[in-house]
Structure 1
């Protein structure tokens, strides 16, 4: 098929790669424009999809908006594509774009629709304590992730981080997309159920602050949901310390009356009291330093028992 690919982050790269390896003619790759780095004056950095498409010799286009750029839509229509494959592109596609390819636009969506429509389905599924998630190949329409689904696959969340799930679901979505494109008629679009709709709003950086007024189980989910980005954290003496991995502490010796005081350090090994239970960070990171164990952290930073975070 003549395929237009639309994607931006790392999640989308395996999908693009799979299309090329399957023998499809990717006539153009659309991605969000290059962005400046974290420091002023730093050169613009192309997105992961942009960089990989160039490696593959595919033309890359980076319109700011299909609605505001008068040339963007005619240029896309001129490609005369059979289908557009979309994976975490990050721009809203107007109806004219959705209608341009012969078979419309197919989206790789990282949830079990209609649960977690929207921007951050992987993180929201972890935060909510969902037992499983998955990928759906969705025929796009104008609504927010409301289109019918052609193919779906599930996986257990277990103790996976958002980063681990992203890698897994990306590979799964790439495989499913190739399967659907190989036989569109054999994978008819099934309308999503009306019940069970939830929305995965964009992750705000403030959400990454660990909330010890929640249960230890919920705090541990925060750690996994925000690994690798934006990174869950707590503050001690004005310093932000990221928590990359943690586990719910169940040792009986920690079951003291003050365990229910949120943010209280319960021992000399960084067990932290929550409203229910306690959490123990395993791998942490101080600003400007490498990843270390909690034990290594405490060798250089005294956070004694009885401290309130």
Structure 2
């Protein structure tokens, strides 16, 4: 089939690789435009951009797809189907309708739960015990289209968003490969989403990344692992007479009780109910380290973290 692939981050690359290795004709790859990054602020191409170039595929990086000129270019690819995996731009109706078989999206949740921008993080932050990844037919609504294929993925008690991301990335590529095989046989059946149970996974805001130790330990633990490794849930601790920001990257439920934010030993910190034990942290300006390494370098710790 003639395919337009649309994606941007590392998450999208295995699916692009699956489509190329399946022998399909990828006539165009759409990805976000290069952005300044690093100390030198040099423009950096997206992971999908780099992968597409390695495959020798034509790459398009429009700032928007709302204009008529870009829509004409998109239609000129004469694609059978467009595959969208974490692209990052809104697809207006003329784009959605241009491919013969429409646009298929790989979405990281069990729809209609966690529609939107941050389904992986929100599922863990909510304490969900399972999620999934699904191939969906795109329509104008936000992640409202019918489902063609899906896989359920268990969320273990200490799993981080980064670990779930990496699992979904692999499972999703295989799922899309199977969906393509069914599409070629004209046997991919779509089922409308349930009307009940819709939740929206809004974008993670900076204001919600700080740890609130007054919350129950289970909620704090879910908050930490749902934001790990990026953007990272954080707190402040007094070291050497100044407040230092520390990201909590890994945690588990701890033992003991105390005032919220009270250090109970090692890096076990009291919450509103129960306690959380931090097992991996990242001090501002430093790399990630286990709790023992942090404690050796921190010296005498205060009684309370903020």
Smaller-chain TM-score range?
over 0.9
Contact 1:270 1:303 (8 Å CA) reproduced: no
Deviations 1:145-187 (A, max 9, x none): 0000001110101122111111111111111111111122322
Match of 1:230 in 2: 231
Change (3 A) 1:123 1:303: farther
User: Cα distance 1:143–1:303, how it changes in 2: closer, same or farther (>3 A)?
Assistant: farther
Contact 1:264 1:273 in 2 (8 A): yes
Once residues 47 and 208 of structure 2 are traced to their aligned partners in structure 1, the CA distance between those partners, rounded to angstroms, is: 25
- The 1:303–1:23 alpha-carbon spacing in structure 2 relative to 1, beyond 3 Å, is farther
1:265-276 to structure 2, matched below 5 A, reads 265-267=263-265, 269-276=266-273
Describe the shift of the 1:303–1:201 C-alpha distance in structure 2 as closer, same or farther (beyond 3 A): farther
Q: 1:308 to 1:43 in 2, by over 3 A?
A: closer
Shift of 1:50: 0.7
Structure 2 length normalisation: TM-score? 0.94
Any unmatched runs of 5+ in structure 1? none
| Residue 248 of structure 1: aligned partner | 253
Cα offset, 1:193, TM superposition: 0.5
TM-score by length of 1: 0.94
Asked if 1:306 is matched to 2:303, the reply is yes
Q: Which moved more, 1:162-171 or 1:177-186?
A: 177-186
Partner residue in 1 for 2:74: 76
**Is 1:278 aligned with 2:275?**
yes
Q: What does 1:1-309 align with in structure 2 at a 5 Å threshold?
A: 1-39=1-39, 41-67=40-66, 69-158=67-156, 159-184=158-183, 185-237=186-238, 238-250=243-255, 254-255=256-257, 259=258, 261-267=259-265, 269-302=266-299, 304=301, 306-309=303-306
Measure the CA separation in 2 of the matches of 1:247 and 1:176.
Answer: 32
Work out the number of aligned pairs and report it.
299
Once the two structures are TM-superposed, the CA of residue 302 in structure 1 deviates from its matched residue by 3.5
User: 5+ residue gaps in structure 2?
Assistant: none
SS at match of 1:112: coil
- Tell me the C-alpha RMSD between the 2 structures: 1.3
Q: Which moved more, 1:185-194 or 1:93-102?
A: 185-194
Q: Deviations over 1:84-128 (max 9, x none)?
A: 000000111001000000000000000000000000000000011
Aligned residues of 2:237 and 2:302 also touching (Cα < 8 A): no
CA distance in structure 2 between the aligned counterparts of 1:295 and 1:303, rounded to whole angstroms: 13
| In 2, Cα distance between equivalents of 1:271 and 1:233 | 15
Following TM superposition, by how much is the alpha carbon of 1:38 offset from its aligned partner in structure 2, in angstroms? Answer: 4.4
Q: Is the 8 A contact 1:216 1:274 kept in 2?
A: yes
Q: 1:65 to 1:303 in 2, by over 3 A?
A: farther
Structure 1 segments of 4+ aligned residues over 4 angstroms from their partners = none
Quote the offset at 1:32 in angstroms.
0.7
